[in-house]
Chains A and B, each alone.
Chain A
């Protein structure tokens, strides 16, 4: 069964550094998402992406964040200048055209900002 994959599984960075989190959505899916989960808390929506454009973003997704689909398979989240409070698990998700509601999550990237 196809799955969403994410790399790296764990990223440690210094405050102020840029990080890029990578995701490979399920191949025939058209809608892509990023969510984050601070340890012990609920999953929070960051951004949705469709047809090479952001379709919605949350108030968390400020100018420090950007997303890109650089090729036909990858979907990336960039944080330009990381802050301590960016430490969290970041999940990528994707959904298909016929059943666009059902979002399938990747295994996550644990980002630790020191």
Chain B
């Protein structure tokens, strides 16, 4: 089955700096790669996603890149703010024969933005 590795497990940056989180996946059938932000005790919130036919996508301070050949994808947050502090999960998804899609999550990155 799919295996998603995520690094680093913790990341501490100064406010205003950039943060980069990297993931790799194993199943070449995966075609959709979302990123979720999870604050303590809350639900995972989708913050950005990318499909396998696209190499890069940007939404304000957040960008995601995908290298299908290397099976790598990364989240980039610029101009970090204290409210960016949370756990970030990457995921890889493939379509299910019976309908819908299955998300396989990475192990998460605890991002701390310090003042």
- Residues of A at the B interface (CB closer than 8 Å) are 30-33, 35, 41-45, 48-51, 53-56, 91, 95, 100-108
Q: List 26 A-B contacts (CB under 8 A).
A: A30-B99, A31-B99, A33-B103, A35-B103, A42-B108, A43-B44, A43-B89, A44-B105, A48-B100, A49-B100, A50-B98, A50-B100, A53-B98, A55-B96, A55-B97, A55-B99, A91-B44, A95-B100, A95-B101, A100-B99, A103-B101, A104-B46, A105-B36, A105-B44, A105-B45, A108-B43
Mostly, the A contact residues are strand
Task: Give B87 Cβ to nearest chain A Cβ, in Å.
Answer: 9
Q: A101-B32, A102-B49, A105-B43 are in contact. Are A43 and B105 (CB under 8 A)?
A: yes
Which of A49, A105, A107, A108 is the most central at the interface, judged by chain B CB atoms within 10 Å of its CB?
Answer: A105
Q: Which residue of A lies closest to B108 (CB)?
A: A42
Is there contact, CB below 8 Å, between B97 and A42?
no
Q: Which residue of B lies closest to A44 (CB)?
A: B105
> A-B pairs with CB below 8 Å: how many?
78
**Cα-based distance from A35 to B101 in the complex (angstroms):** 13
Q: A44-B105, A101-B32 are in contact. Are A55 and B44 (CB under 8 A)?
A: no
Residues of A contacting B102 in the complex (Cβ-Cβ under 8 angstroms): 45, 48, 56
**Cα-based distance from A37 to B73 in the complex (angstroms):** 23
Residues of B contacting A54 in the complex (Cβ-Cβ under 8 angstroms): 98
**Cα-based distance from A48 to B99 in the complex (angstroms):** 8
Is there contact, CB below 8 Å, between A100 and B107?
no
Contact with A along B34-75 (1 / 0, CB 8 A): 101000001111100101000000000000000000000000
**Cα-based distance from A31 to B102 in the complex (angstroms):** 11
**Cα-based distance from A95 to B105 in the complex (angstroms):** 17
**Cα-based distance from A48 to B95 in the complex (angstroms):** 11
**Cα-based distance from A23 to B14 in the complex (angstroms):** 39
* CB-CB nearest 9 A-B residue pairs: A55-B98, A50-B99, A31-B100, A101-B32, A105-B43, A43-B105, A42-B105, A48-B100, A55-B99
